[in-house]
Amino acid sequence: MIISIASGKGGTGKTTVATNLALSLGNVQLLDCDVEEPDAHIFLKPRIEKEIPAIIPIPRVDKTKCTYCGKCGEACQFHAIVVVKEMVLNFDELCHGCGACSYVCPEDAITEVERKIGTIQIGRAGEIGFVQGILNVGEPMASPLIKKEKTFMGNPGTVILDAPPGTSCPVIETVKGSDFCLLVTEPTPFGLNDLELAVGMAEKLRVPMGVVVNRADVGDRGVWDFCRKKDIPIMMEIPMDQRIAELYSRGIPLVEEMEEYRAAFRRLFEKIEALAS
């Protein structure tokens, strides 16, 4: 089963839920898909066993063959290749490496070269298989790296995907194909606003979802009212607790010091299994 853990905004506790769920279950695989700022390793402290460069193919045009018909530019939905009069412009940073331009070229004038966009690290944290992507500084797009990272999902049991914050392309790339999406929010006007966006995303992707409310005893009841209206189950509530904040600030998973949460996260997983089946 593939469980993606997402949120409409940053700072809601998404990585806290992902890492503590993984530690409570044991024999799972966790992929940190927040490739622009991965931080699950701070809590899991994995032993990195392998580093693999993340490569995407980008187009290069043979001007002796090109007739400047413009079909490559028409095929590229990302505008990474553009034909202007008798000139072909390549915008490598916009290329997703899909190969559409070379496929449609009637003159076979486009070849592909490799371009490194980041690094994928693979290791273990005890029983937990660990994968994280690290996007090169200055790269504008995280989605191609996340797509590469997801090819390393190999656990026959449970895979946990820690998504980037927000609801943009990197989050969609992470969540699509999941069996269940766990949305982490907080009971504030900002948390509710971004939860609504995240719910809309999961509905478009047709992924079953549930909600975890972090810092549940602050703010208002807007999140509960919204979930009740949308018939979305609230799977777990985590209170505002200074002990949790102190552990987080020291990079210590709360299940290691507050044993009662290990059982709580296992119950969360049982709820996910029941809804995803």
Distance CA 26, CA 175 (A): 22
The pLDDT of residue 155: 62
- In terms of C-beta distances under 8 Å and separation of at least 24 residues, what long-range contacts does 69-77 make, across chains too? 69/106, 69/107, 71/104, 71/105, 71/106, 72/101, 72/102, 72/104, 72/105, 72/110, 73/101, 74/104, 75/100, 75/101, 75/103, 75/104, 76/100, 76/101
Establish whether domains 2-54+118-276 and 63-108 are of one fold: no
* 154 phi, psi to nearest 5 deg: -140, 0
Q: Please check the confidence at residue 156 and state whether its pLDDT lies above 80.
A: no
The model's confidence at residue 35, banded by pLDDT at 50, 70 and 90, is very high
Q: Are 237 and 213 in contact (CB under 8 A)?
A: yes
Task: Give pTM, 2 decimals.
Answer: 0.91
Report which DSSP code applies to 123.
E
Domain boundaries, the chain: 2-54+118-276, 63-108
**Residues near 37 by Cβ (< 8 Å), separated by ≥ 6?**
none
**Residues near 241 by Cβ (< 8 Å), separated by ≥ 6?**
none
Q: Please check the confidence at residue 86 and state whether its pLDDT lies above 90.
A: no
Residue 251 neighbours by CB distance under 10 Å: 12
CATH code reported for the domain at 63-108: 3.30.70.20
The pLDDT of residue 9: 81
pLDDT digits (tens, 9 = 90+) for 65-83: 999 999 999 999 999 999 9
Q: Which candidate, 14, 267, 53, places its Cα nearest to that of 161? A: 14
pLDDT digits (tens, 9 = 90+) for 172-211: 999 999 999 999 999 999 999 999 999 999 999 999 999 9
pLDDT digits (tens, 9 = 90+) for 128-149: 999 999 999 999 889 999 999 9
Element (H, E) at 133: strand 128-135
Superfamily of the domain at 2-54+118-276: P-loop containing nucleotide triphosphate hydrolases (3.40.50.300)
